Amino acid sequence: MNNPSGTILKADPRLQRVAWVTVTVLIGCGAFGILFLREFLAHIEALTAHAPEERIQQLITLLKILLVIKGISFIGFGTFSAQRALRTIHTDQFPPPGTRVIRDTLVVTGRAAQRHGKGLLVLSVVVITSGIVVPIFTWRMLDMFSP
């Protein structure tokens, strides 16, 4: 790390609270989603004896909805990460100037910051690509099973 001064970026208490609230809300949404899916799958199970084609179609529709959500979230996260990577590369500092952090973080500058930025940029491209390719590929596979 090219940081002879050993600068430490202090944690932002407000951002820490926002992070805790966000994680709590996401856990709540996940729990609600699991409960909803259990009810939905129980409903589909009840259709098995009467209308198996309808059951398959409802499952495919559910999977397609989940694919769209997955794609949007991956593209959003990848875009955010790519912006952070580009800022790191342009400013030659990680985390970039003006960044708020949730824990005390050592500021990295120079070649090490460039490596951080380029590595994050590569991972961002992988995440964005998977957010596009995987849902499209899976959607087409599901269309093959449609009645």
Q: How many CB atoms lie within 10 A of CB 147?
A: 9
Q: Pick the residue with more confidence: 25 or 7?
A: 25
Number of structural domains (the chain) is: 1
Predicted model pTM: 0.77
- Residue 109, sorted as left (phi over 0), alpha (psi -120 to 50) or beta, turns out to be beta
State pLDDT tens for residues 12-26. Answer: 999 999 999 999 999
How many residues are given for the chain?
A: 147
142 token code pair:
């599901």
91 token code pair:
């400013």
Residue 3 in any domain: the answer is no
Residue 2 in any domain: the answer is no
Residue 52 in any domain: the answer is yes
Domain that holds residue 43: 8-145
Indicate the range of 9-23, 42-56, 95-109 predicted with least confidence: 42-56
- Which pLDDT does position 91 carry in this prediction? 95
- Which pLDDT does position 78 carry in this prediction? 97
Cβ pair 82, 128 in contact under 8 A: yes
Sign for the pseudo-dihedral over CA of 31, 37, 39, 42? negative
